[in-house]
Amino acid sequence: MILKMLSFSLKILAERNRTGIINRHWKKEVKKLKIMFVCTGNNCRSPMAEGLLKKKLEEKQIKNIKVYSCGVFAETGDYASYEAIEALKRYQIDISRHRATNIKDAFIEEMDLILCATSSHNCLAKRKHWKPLRSLKKEKYIR
């Protein structure tokens, strides 16, 4: 699931690169791209996807993309799960400082790309938890 979310985000970034949105002169020409991963509790899947994408962007020296995560039923302030922290240690990624954020507290309207772990998260994000998400412009990706 996490690898699917990560590969999808990289696919979208590659698509934007081909269309000229991301380029070598991006620092001066384009604002920072903001990506949000959404799952249930924001203590396993979305923090792992956030950590993996941040590492991939760091490896490729891309600094104009900010990555965030939140959960539709998250308790704001909760820690990442022990299992998630341990799983990412194998890849030299530390998410031990991660704190969960509920979707209501996530400033999701500022995101350029929103990636939901499942279709039910997508529905909850659009219908139940965050009213302005329904009115986002069509150019914003919500998957």
- Tokens in use for 62? 């891309």
Rounded to whole angstroms, how far apart are CA atoms 9 and 99? 22
Whose CA is closest to 62, among 97, 17, 116? Answer: 17
Residues 6+ apart with CB under 8 A from 3: none
Rounded to whole angstroms, how far apart are CA atoms 130 and 45? 20
Which residues are catalytic, by number?
39, 116, 123
